[in-house]
Amino acid sequence: VADDIVKGRIRGRIVGWYHSHPGLGVFMSVDDLKTHQTLQQFDPNIVSIVVDPILNQIGYFKQNPLTRNVELFRPQIISRMPLRAEILEKSSGMVTVAIILSSILIIISLLLGSLILTVISLLLSKTVKVAESRKLINGKVVSWLISSINRLILNIDKSIDRLMEKMKDLNMEDYSTS
């Protein structure tokens, strides 16, 4: 996207970027710092967001104007917002999920085993209920998977809530209507 903006192929403003470190915690790797510094050329107030949906952590990184270091800061948690999720594509262990939150669309690709893919598909399409899970393969395994996936979805939901609050804090405009 940054290349396309520089070359004039698309118009817009980059205000930040996000990615996840599932199960690894919230930190900025060397590559993350390089990406952040590249995007800072477009806006000195660029925000990098790192989400760990498994550990229920979210970190917002921004350059400190005094030290010039990229530092972690955490906003307050906000109330829950309406969320809708749909599976866009499934193929050989990869699922792409669209999370629609008011006018914001977030695409998440998850690399998963086929059983977990099936459970996520059923959960998101609301065709499986926890009570029915015992009818599938091994009831205990599937119940555990459903419970784990529900926690993961809840953690992603909470992370999106925090992202929305951060966007409000930064007075980011809604560019989807322009």
Structural domains in the chain (count): 2
**CATH classification at residue 47:** 3.40.140.10
Look up the pTM and report it: 0.38
Q: Which amino acid is at 164?
A: M
**Which pLDDT tens digit goes with each residue over 73-104?**
544 333 333 444 455 555 555 555 554 444 44
Expressed as residue numbers, the domain containing 65 is 2-74
Do 95 and 53 have their domain in common? Answer: no
Does any domain span residue 38? yes
**Which pLDDT tens digit goes with each residue over 14-31?**
677 777 877 787 788 888
pLDDT at position 121 over 70:
no
